[in-house]
Chain A
């Protein structure tokens, strides 16, 4: 990453090759369409290249940090969007990523990890999962969620907190 911050285009390309698919997948999950996901990832990676956002190693690994940059951009995009309605992702036509041969082991580990995390999420009570998904993937604020679900703000905050605590405890080392 230090090389990227010094303007090394090849180092930047290596980072894209390693994390671009995860970034695109997250942007696609949030935006719900490929063209928007492409713009979001491009904007996010260019902000990294232009050093307008800085990687701080002490705040977690590079992949998590890049995904948080993509998440912020995607949520900005959602909140800017005039048609900010709950969208359903069309599962048909989504091409599950084929593992590149050189990354087979790494890919397998990542898929296992994704499955473990998904299963921890699915293990949450449905009302807790709902508020987490509306916040993280929907880009809604806690008060918007309270209004949408017709419940007190305190209940939404409580459910968010309970869900996060359960996932933290359930995932243990997977999120360490």
Chain B
């Protein structure tokens, strides 16, 4: 890394504020800026120009789906934070040994398994399960309820304790609703996260599948539900 003169750094200031310096050059200049008041002052003087250029572009109406997708994720995450906070409070209460506080989740799980079992019994138009093992993992295709999800494909590649969920051409859930993941461990079910596919219908995420014998996806209100409220849109038998 060659030492540079003050003038050489100064010559790079224009490119720097336009974000047109390669990363390494930008880092070198930033180190110089830390100790050079006059260069810092020049950067501060020029910085508002790119901000103005950003405001010069012709205004284009964004599609309504942008806000809908964004807010679905934001509301889901805000809801999940609330659920997490509630669960934290519940755990604190349990630590006092309240038997009743411990009973409620088990009731919810029993109800949830009832709803999911009903979904399977009343007729999930299932795609075939395709399996394939080997060092790349075991690929599990989804059983998809085509009434709820008429298009799209989904697969889960299980590698040790992780499952790589991949969706393509999946439809967006209805407005105000999201897909929610669930992990079934024998007779208990564990709540997972929520998601919406990207605008092209794709989505991928790594799931903690250790000990789970099935991964399920349902459609829930934005923010997610503490227990499934309807039959699964898709399910993977791990």
Contact = CB atoms under 8 A, between A and B. Distances in A.
A42 B15 contact: no
B66 A41 contact: yes
B132 interface: no
Contact of B49 (A13, A142, A145, A167): A167
A75 B47 CA distance: 17
Given A35-B199, A176-B48, A117 B65 contact: no
The size class of the interface chain A forms with chain B is 35 or more
A160 B58 CA distance: 23
A42 B74 contact: no
Contacts of B77: 49-50
B37 interface: no
Contacts of B70: 16, 41-42, 45-46
Contacts of A132: 18, 53
Contacts of A156: 15
A160 B67 contact: no
Interface in A20-41: 20-26, 28-29, 34-35, 37-39, 41
A142 B55 contact: no
Interface in A133-170: 135-136, 139-143, 145, 154, 156-158, 160-161, 163-165, 167-168
Q: Is the interface of B mostly helix, strand, loop or mixed?
A: helix
The size class of the interface chain B forms with chain A is 35 or more
Nearest to B57: A29
B203 to A, nearest CB: 12
Nearest to B54: A67
A94 interface: yes
B20 A175 contact: no
Given A42-B69, A154-B11, A160-B15, A117 B60 contact: no
A161 B39 CA distance: 13
A101 interface: no
Interface string B10-44: 01111101111110000000000000000000000
A12 B15 contact: no
A87 interface: no
Contacts of B198: 39
B75 interface: yes
Contacts of A22: 54-55, 59
B49 A168 contact: yes
A121 B51 contact: no
Contact of B19 (A25, A46, A50, A135): A135
Nearest to B85: A7
Contacts of B45: 168
A13 B71 contact: yes
Contacts of B48: 60, 64, 168, 175-176
A121 B11 contact: no
B50 interface: yes
A39 B196 CA distance: 13
15 contacts: A16-B70, A21-B59, A26-B57, A28-B60, A37-B62, A71-B54, A72-B19, A118-B56, A135-B18, A135-B19, A136-B20, A141-B21, A157-B11, A165-B46, A175-B52
Interface of A: 7-9, 12-13, 16-17, 20-26, 28-29, 34-35, 37-39, 41-42, 45-46, 49-50, 59-60, 63-64, 67-68, 70-72, 75, 94-98, 110-111, 113-114, 117-118, 120-121, 132, 135-136, 139-143, 145, 154, 156-158, 160-161, 163-165, 167-168, 171, 174-176
